[in-house]
């Protein structure tokens, strides 16, 4: 279990990184390496060039400005989990970070790496989708912002161009409620089902809801029918939404659980989220 | 290091000693520590980031050395199990492992010790903190509860 | 027949019974352990295997040119190259109805399971060896894979043409009036069980280093084997290395659990490579190889039925145990021992069941060979027996304790229908003690109260008797062949310190400490003065392997016999120096003392010094050899017993099962070191929890192994580890050193049944009863949802 040969470069700027990517179509970016290095060891990935972002300044750091929480792409899960700023403005995000794998992995794994990897059973893509987050990316042709909805194309697939680098992740902090929850068989396992939900609560009613599911489905996905069924309803009045969520997604089967099972436990995650919404509206 | 190359030069500080080496870019940090520096106390149990045996401290934070390329540790401070005893005295944590029979074959032990060391350095962990942190390590021999007991006792002893 | 090496001298327990900390620990805790991968020989090469990607296929071509041409690659061997030296290793079980197979070192013509070695690449580094493997091209012509053991036994294609009807093992016995028992039964409780395919999963994978010196024809082989002397024997038998020039060395070993108690093709290939290439060759298995190709374990399909009379006493049993054996027998244990033991040994357990109809069979399939893993045959056998006991308890509306008390054997010696004699045991007390520990009435109250809140807890019980101290007598008692004995050498130095060498290797069980405790009590020397070497090299002693819960008993017996020779000399010398009767001399606290004469003593150090340097102190005819090597093999089979009770909670949202608490009762006779015994229990029980709730090697319909990483093969982590309450009963054996019995497998033997029973109890309101392990969250959720 040793990586195949590759050439390695650690550029000092994003622009250099982009041109290195442009130079070799089989090049791959290295962020924290917590997903890529095992793939190399298993020889399931065999890039010819590895472009390491660790020397590029300004890719880490967390800021909160004008209702946007901006996380540098190379920010580790651990620093998000422990950031006083995140814990203050969006504690659910800090808690979501703590759901990822184990501390020994969170110290190295980065949000940008996880988003770009687009694992169907990862937490960040679901969080981004539910929050309507964006990624800022730079390529040889310039920079752009991609919304989460436009970014995730399928399991391990994104709309990033081969020469593009994610430089940061932006999450709107706009007073909407955030809820992230997961069923893991053991501490730190990949989620059998991950559910992220954001919504407004006004007068005990849920509005403007965005619901994303990962882990249970072939790729991270929104649940538009469940969202629509929930719109304007009280948390307790959510049977239609629950039925819709069970029906509209295509759940996956593997050795860790059948599609039926994943549907069932996704439903229980949704019910937990709705119970929490009920409690929040009770407190409001 | 802006030109792609199959070999890279790295400088690391390991257990207080500085090393400068030229290594294959694909060399994992665990292989570097074991094969290049002869620090075989760090064990490799899976090479894909699950078992925790290879855990070391990088700039005081626990990390899987099998999930890192050596070059990613360039410029960093590393601590391995070989650093824990001071002089001829085991650390309180190591002593608690012996007292509670928290190791049998010993293959997983270095990883547990390093994660637990970081945990103790951060403050007073609760039993839940211990379980949460050390669940990222497999031990096939002990059934774990003696390890929890050992870390708990070491935490109680830790001057804080 | 009785032999002197079955006689064990008596010993006074002083250090025995104490929680002595392990002397190995500081070394291991500071990173100074030396495991196989830590050993580096000058000039060593690294081997890596090209492994079959097909479950069953004809090899039409193997192309190695590109690999050979790669810079750093030294050699590439295929099946033809290996076959020049060795046709393969032959495996079978020495019982009626077993058919042998020959496992090639590298596959030729046909591959029979995914992961079977097809070629080996030897290179200057493991990295380059893997690069080389990628360049070896193998063309396969697919053959139909045989994947289901029971249908395989009914006919169809063969998994391995050596066994055309796929029957690797078939046999059985009818004992007593089984027909009568079932015809007269008030109730018959029956079920079909499947116990899943497991990996022993030691944290250190397998590995081998071979080094050969042509000038002396000397071969040295490092391997973390549980059976180094057997490996050494195979080096001669299969490869023709002169046995006197072979040395098998066993470094620190990161767990074995039975997986490392086999001979593997890799262990036979590396010596050949080292000899032919004239350089040391090393192979360190990676985790994917370990999951894929190190022996699998425990998988069986079992039909079992018990007849109960109207008093809820078990009166008869019928069992058919079918092993899913994989493509070859893995010597020495074979694919047969698992179902054979389940069928022939375990169905009666601790119960007085007079009639038994026992059938065992093993099918060859296109999967990784089945081998030993802690509790071979016993785990599955205990699972089905104890689970049906709980099913019966529900049927008769008795408590799980009461149903067992109806049938438990109360008088010893006891001979079961299979003819096995149990000299002693605390079988009834185990049940009583567990009932007390769990406080059954309080549990029932709590269970009812929680149920009312929509929470579901359950209690599961499992009691066992375990054959321990694997010996010649044990084999005979079970109609199995096999001669076992181990030697130990005890040597006292002039300063009174003692070096002990045993024939057993250790994989973490603390033998160096427990054996030192035995010697300390025999010779009266302090523990610090004793060094124990545990078969670090086959140059010393003889050992039949660290298997079958035999370590403490067998090594203990050999150590005690050898140290008794030294003791006798010290006593004779002391008697002469103190002018006392040898019968009045005891060795204690570093001195020889005259019993009843305070102040009359001489230190052991002075005695040892006198043996080496002061002839004037010697009595007449004194022989100054302070070194003795003796063998031990107990005269009779030894059985330990015990049980576990577990409380679990099942989560209605997910079907996840959490083990809340484990209560264990263990009776392994005299306990040498409670810390070590309890460590064995906890470790084994958590492995059992893994087997019951998490672990499963899965093949897909084409025979591909799906679970090739630890991301897919889930072992218990710390959050799966329950708190334990452990109670020791001590029913000493009348014929082992100090009365000790083996217990290394008990945790895994009985834990899965306790988990399954506890889950079924938690689900009892649903009417669902589960009979397969691992229990999936999905099954539990289904049951809860009705
Ligand atoms: S060896 Fe690194 S986690 Fe297993
Ligand atoms: S002590 Fe053996 S794996 Fe932990």
Which value does ipTM take for this structure?
0.98
Tell me: pLDDT of C525 over 60: yes
- Euclidean distance between CA atoms C500 and C506, whole angstroms: 14
Q: In this predicted model, what pLDDT tens digit does every residue of A147-168 receive, in sequence order? A: 999 999 999 999 999 999 999 9
Chain B residues whose CB is inside 8 A of the A55 CB are: 1
Tell me: pLDDT of C344 over 50: yes
Ligand 1 atom, smallest distance to B67 CA: 2
Measured CB to CB, residues of chain B less than 8 Å from chain A are 1-6, 8, 24-26, 28, 31, 47-49, 52, 55, 58, 61-64, 66-69, 71-72, 115, 131-133, 135-136
- C475 belongs to a structural domain: no
Q: Whats the size of chain B, residue-wise?
A: 160
Pull the structure tokens for residue C169: 């093992």
* Architecture category of domain B92-157 in CATH: Orthogonal Bundle (1.10)
CATH number at residue A244: 3.30.390.50
Q: CB A8 to CB B71 under 8 A? A: yes
CATH number at residue C76: 3.90.1170.50
Residues A191 and A241 in one domain: yes
* Ligand 2 centroid, distance to B60 Cα (angstroms): 24
What's the number of domains chain C is made of? Answer: 3
SS3 C641: strand
Tell me: pLDDT of B22 over 60: yes
Q: CB B64 to CB A108 under 8 A? A: yes
Residues A65 and A162 in one domain: yes
* Ligand 1 centroid, distance to B57 Cα (angstroms): 14
Residue of C nearest to B148 (CA): C718
- Euclidean distance between CA atoms C5 and C740, whole angstroms: 17
- Residue B52 gets which letter from DSSP? -
Count how many pairs of residues, chain A against chain C, have C-beta atoms within 8 Å.
61
For chain C, the first-to-last Cα distance in angstroms comes to 60
Q: Which CATH number fits domain B7-82: 3.30.450.20, 3.10.450.50, 3.10.20.30, 3.40.50.80?
A: 3.10.20.30
SS3 A9: strand
Pull the structure tokens for residue B72: 């990613």
Measured CB to CB, residues of chain A less than 8 Å from chain B are 1-12, 16, 20, 24, 30, 33-34, 37-38, 40-42, 49-52, 54-55, 78, 101-105, 107-108, 186-188
- Euclidean distance between CA atoms B147 and A246, whole angstroms: 42
CB of C203 sitting under 6 A from ligand 2: yes
Residue A231 pLDDT: 96
Tell me: pLDDT of A134 over 70: yes
Chain A residues whose CB is inside 8 A of the C712 CB are: 255-256
- A1 belongs to a structural domain: no
Of the pLDDT bands very low, low, confident and very high (cuts 50, 70, 90), residue C786 is confident
The full DSSP string for C102-114 is EE-SS--SEE-ST
- A149 belongs to a structural domain: yes
Residue C2 pLDDT: 77
Answer with the one of C615, C632, C649 that is the final residue of a domain.
C632
Alpha-helical segments (H) within chain A: 14-23, 36-41, 77-82, 84-89, 91-98, 103-106, 111-117, 123-131, 148-151, 224-230, 239-248, 259-283
Residues C18 and C50 in one domain: no
Q: In this predicted model, what pLDDT tens digit does every residue of A179-203 receive, in sequence order? A: 999 999 999 999 999 999 999 999 9
Residue B160 pLDDT: 46
Tell me: pLDDT of A58 over 90: no
Residues C624 and C701 in one domain: no
Residues C615 and C656 in one domain: no
Q: CB A186 to CB C720 under 8 A? A: yes
Residues C568 and C436 in one domain: no
For residue B107, which ligand has an atom nearest its CA?
2
- How is the beta sheet containing A193-202 ordered, strand by strand? A177-183, A193-202, A205-214, A221-222
Measured CB to CB, residues of chain A less than 8 Å from chain C are 1-5, 42-43, 183, 185-190, 192, 255-258, 260-261, 264-265, 268, 272
- C156 belongs to a structural domain: no
Do residues C328 and C369 touch, judged by C-beta distance below 8 A? Answer: yes
Residues A156 and A101 in one domain: yes
Mean pLDDT of C546-560: 90
Mean pLDDT of C253-277: 97
Q: CB B26 to CB A187 under 8 A? A: no
Residues A211 and A230 in one domain: yes
The values of phi and psi at residue A147, to 5°, are: -75, 155
- CATH 1.10.150.120 residue ranges for chain B: 92-157
CB of C688 sitting under 6 A from ligand 2: no
- C492 belongs to a structural domain: yes
Task: Identify the residues whose C-beta falls under 6 Å from ligand 1.
Answer: B 44-47, 49-54, 64, 66
Ligand 1 atom, smallest distance to B65 CA: 2
Of the pLDDT bands very low, low, confident and very high (cuts 50, 70, 90), residue C10 is confident
Of the pLDDT bands very low, low, confident and very high (cuts 50, 70, 90), residue C350 is very high
Least confident range of A240-244, C124-128, C470-474: C470-474
* Ligand 2 centroid, distance to A176 Cα (angstroms): 47
CATH number at residue A28: 3.30.43.10
Residue C250 pLDDT: 96
Do residues A262 and A284 touch, judged by C-beta distance below 8 A? Answer: no
- Euclidean distance between CA atoms B138 and B118, whole angstroms: 18
Chain A adjacent subunits, 3+ CB pairs under 8 A: B, C
Q: To the nearest whole number, what is the mean pLDDT of chain C?
A: 96
Q: CB A41 to CB B48 under 8 A? A: yes
Chain C residues whose CB is inside 8 A of the A264 CB are: 781, 785
SS3 C489: strand
Residues spanned by the domain of A22: 7-52
- C301 belongs to a structural domain: no
- Distance from the Cα of B136 to chain A's closest Cα (Å) equals 5
Residues spanned by the domain of C663: 377-468+637-785
Q: In this predicted model, what pLDDT tens digit does every residue of A120-133 receive, in sequence order? A: 999 999 999 999 99
Residues C701 and C776 in one domain: yes
- CATH 3.10.20.30 residue ranges for chain B: 7-82
- Distance from the Cα of A210 to chain B's closest Cα (Å) equals 30
Residues C778 and C645 in one domain: yes
For chain B, give the longest Cα–Cα distance.
52
* Ligand 1 centroid, distance to A39 Cα (angstroms): 13
Chain B adjacent subunits, 3+ CB pairs under 8 A: A, C
Tell me: pLDDT of B159 over 80: no
Tell me: pLDDT of A284 over 60: no
- C312 belongs to a structural domain: no
Tell me: pLDDT of C276 over 70: yes
Q: CB B143 to CB C686 under 8 A? A: yes
State percent of chain A over pLDDT 70.
Answer: 99
Q: In this predicted model, what pLDDT tens digit does every residue of B40-70 receive, in sequence order? A: 999 999 999 999 999 999 999 999 999 999 9
SS3 C14: coil
Residues C627 and C677 in one domain: no
Q: Is the pTM for the entire model greater than 0.90?
A: yes
Nearest to B135 among A7, A34, A186 (CB): A186
Answer with the one of C604, C632, C660 that is the final residue of a domain.
C632
Residues A124 and A222 in one domain: no
Q: In this predicted model, what pLDDT tens digit does every residue of B122-143 receive, in sequence order? A: 999 999 999 999 999 999 999 9
CATH number at residue C439: 3.30.365.10
Do residues A94 and A86 touch, judged by C-beta distance below 8 A? Answer: yes
- C424 belongs to a structural domain: yes
Q: CB C781 to CB A272 under 8 A? A: no
Residue C1 pLDDT: 57
**Closest residue CA from atom 3 of ligand 2:** B139
Q: CB B142 to CB C29 under 8 A? A: no
As beta bridge partners, residue C773 has C195
What's the number of domains chain A is made of? Answer: 3
Nearest to A7 among B25, B31, B55 (CB): B25
């Amino acid at each position: 279990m040793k990586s195949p040969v590759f050439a390695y470069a650690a550029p000092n700027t994003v622009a250099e990184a982009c041109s290195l990517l442009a130079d070799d179509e089989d090049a791959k970016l290295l962020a924290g390496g917590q997903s890529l290095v095992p793939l190399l060891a298993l020889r399931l990935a065999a890039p010819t060039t590895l472009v390491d972002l660790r020397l590029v300044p300004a890719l880490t750091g967390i800021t909160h400005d004008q209702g946007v929480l901006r996380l540098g792409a190379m920010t580790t899960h651990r620093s998000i989990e422990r950031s006083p700023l995140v814990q203050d403005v969006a504690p659910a995000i800090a808690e979501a970070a703590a759901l990822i794998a184990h501390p020994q992995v969170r110290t190295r794994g980065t949000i940008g790496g996880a988003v770009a990897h687009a694992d169907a059973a990862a937490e960040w893509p679901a969080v981004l989708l539910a929050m309507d987050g964006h990624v800022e990316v730079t390529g040889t042709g310039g920079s752009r912002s991609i919304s989460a909805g436009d970014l995730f194309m399928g399991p391990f697939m994104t709309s990033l161009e081969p020469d593009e680098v994610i430089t940061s992740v932006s999450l709107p902090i706009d007073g909407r409620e955030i809820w992230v929850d997961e069923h893991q068989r053991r501490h730190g396992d990949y989620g059998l089902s991950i559910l992220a939900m954001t919504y407004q609560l006004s007068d005990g009613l849920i509005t403007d809801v965005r619901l994303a599911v990962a882990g249970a489905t072939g790729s991270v996905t929104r649940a538009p029918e469940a969202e629509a069924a929930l719109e304007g309803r009280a948390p307790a009045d959510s049977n239609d939404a629950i039925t819709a969520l069970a029906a509209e997604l295509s759940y996956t089967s593997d050795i860790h659980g059948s599609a039926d099972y994943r549907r069932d436990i996704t439903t229980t995650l949704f019910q937990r989220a709705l119970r929490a919404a009920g409690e929040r509206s009770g407190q409001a | 290091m802006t030109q792609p190359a199959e070999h890279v030069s790295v400088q690391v500080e390991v257990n207080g000693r500085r090393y400068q080496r030229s290594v294959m870019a694909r060399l994992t940090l665990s292989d570097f520590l074991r094969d290049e520096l002869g620090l075989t106390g760090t064990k490799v149990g899976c090479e894909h980031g699950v078992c925790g045996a290879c855990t070391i401290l990088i700039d005081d934070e626990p990390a899987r050395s099998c999930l890192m390329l050596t070059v990613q540790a360039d410029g960093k401070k590393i601590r391995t199990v070989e650093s824990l005893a001071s002089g001829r005295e085991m650390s309180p944590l190591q002593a608690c492992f012996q007292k509670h029979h928290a190791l049998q074959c010993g293959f997983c032990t270095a990883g547990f010790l390093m994660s637990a060391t970081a945990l103790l350095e951060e403050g007073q962990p609760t039993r839940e903190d211990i379980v949460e942190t050390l669940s990222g390590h497999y031990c096939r021999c002990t059934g774990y509860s003696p390890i929890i007991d050992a870390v708990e006792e070491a935490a109680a002893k830790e001057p804080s | 027949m009785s032999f002197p090496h079955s006689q064990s001298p008596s010993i006074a327990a002083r250090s025995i019974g104490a929680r002595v900390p392990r002397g190995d620990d500081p070394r291991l805790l500071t990173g100074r352990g030396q495991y196989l991968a830590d050993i580096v020989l000058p000039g060593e090469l690294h081997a890596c295997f090209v492994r079959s990607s097909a479950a069953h296929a004809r090899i039409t071509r193997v192309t190695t040119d590109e690999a050979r041409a790669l810079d750093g690659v030294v050699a590439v061997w295929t099946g033809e190259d290996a076959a020049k030296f060795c046709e393969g290793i032959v495996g079978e079980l020495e019982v009626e109805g077993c058919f042998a197979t020959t496992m090639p070192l590298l596959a030729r013509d046909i591959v029979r399971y995914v992961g079977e070695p097809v070629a080996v690449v030897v290179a200057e580094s493991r990295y380059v060896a893997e690069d080389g493997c990628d360049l070896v091209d193998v063309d396969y012509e697919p053959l139909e894979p045989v994947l289901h053991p029971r249908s395989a036994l009914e006919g169809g294609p063969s998994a391995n043409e050596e066994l055309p009807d796929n029957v690797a093992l078939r046999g059985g016995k009818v004992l007593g009036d089984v027909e009568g028992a079932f015809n007269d039964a008030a109730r018959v409780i029956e079920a079909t069980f499947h116990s899943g395919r497991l990996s022993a999963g030691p944290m250190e994978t397998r590995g081998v280093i071979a080094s050969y010196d042509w000038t002396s024809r000397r071969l040295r082989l490092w391997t973390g084997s549980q059976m180094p002397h057997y490996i050494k024997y195979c080096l001669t038998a299969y490869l023709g290395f002169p046995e006197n020039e072979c040395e098998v060395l066993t470094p620190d070993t990161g767990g074995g659990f039975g997986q490392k108690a086999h001979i593997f093709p890799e262990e036979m290939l590396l010596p050949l490579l080292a000899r032919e290439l004239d350089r040391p060759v090393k192979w360190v298995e990676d985790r994917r190889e370990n999951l894929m190709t190190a022996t699998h374990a425990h998988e069986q399909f079992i039909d079992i039925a018990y007849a109960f009379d109207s008093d809820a006493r078990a009166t008869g049993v019928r069992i058919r145990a079918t092993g899913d054996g994989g493509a070859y027998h893995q010597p020495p244990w074979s694919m047969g021992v698992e179902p054979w033991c389940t069928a022939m040994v375990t169905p009666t357990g601790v119960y007085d069941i007079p009639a038994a109809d026992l059938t065992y069979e093993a099918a060859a399939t296109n999967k990784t060979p089945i081998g030993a893993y802690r509790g071979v045959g016993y785990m599955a056998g205990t699972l089905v027996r104890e689970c049906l006991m709980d099913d019966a308890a529900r049927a008769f509306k008795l408590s799980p304790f009461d149903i067992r008390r109806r049938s438990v054997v109360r008088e010893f010696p006891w001979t079961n229908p299979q003819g096995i004699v149990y000299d002693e045991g605390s079988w009834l007390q185990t049940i009583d003690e567990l009932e007390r520990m769990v406080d059954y009435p309080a549990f029932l109250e709590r269970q009812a109260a929680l149920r009312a809140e929509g929470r579901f807890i359950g209690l599961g019980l499992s009691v066992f008797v375990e054959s321990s101290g694997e010996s010649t007598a044990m084999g005979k008692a079970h109609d199995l062949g096999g001669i076992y004995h181990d030697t130990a050498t005890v040597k006292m130095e002039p300063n009174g310190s003692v070096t002990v060498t045993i024939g057993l290797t250790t994989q973490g069980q603390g033998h160096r400490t427990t054996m030192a405790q035995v010697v300390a009590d025999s010779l009266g020397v302090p523990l610090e003065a004793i060094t124990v070497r545990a078969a670090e090299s086959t140059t010393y002693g003889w050992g039949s392997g660290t298997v079958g819960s035999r370590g403490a008993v067998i090594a203990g017996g050999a150590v005690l016999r050898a140290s008794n020779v030294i003791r006798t000399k010290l006593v004779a010398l002391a008697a002469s120096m103190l002018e006392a009767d040898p019968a009045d001399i005891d060795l204690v606290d570093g001195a020889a003392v005259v019993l009843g004469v305070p102040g009359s003593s001489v230190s052991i150090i002075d005695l040892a010094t006198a043996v080496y340097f002061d002839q004037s102190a010697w009595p007449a005819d004194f022989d100054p050899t302070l070194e003795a090597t003796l063998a031990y093999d107990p005269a009779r089979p030894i059985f330990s017993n015990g049980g576990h009770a577990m409380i679990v909670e099942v989560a209605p949202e997910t079907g996840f099962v959490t083990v809340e608490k484990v209560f264990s009762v263990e009776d392994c006779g005299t306990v040498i070191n409670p810390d070590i015994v309890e460590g064995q229990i906890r470790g084994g029980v958590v492995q059992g929890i893994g087997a019951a709730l998490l672990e499963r090697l899965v093949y897909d319909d084409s025979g591909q192994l799906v679970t090739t990483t630890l991301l897919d093969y889930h072992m218990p982590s710390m959050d799966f580890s329950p708190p334990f309450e452990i109670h020791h009963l001590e029913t000493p054996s009348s014929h082992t050193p100090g009365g000790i019995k083996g217990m290394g497998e008990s945790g895994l033997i009985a834990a899965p049944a306790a988990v399954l029973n506890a889950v079924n109890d938690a689900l009892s309101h649903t009417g669902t009863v589960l009979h397969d392990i691992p229990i999936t969250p999905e099954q539990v959720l289904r049951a809860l949802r009705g």
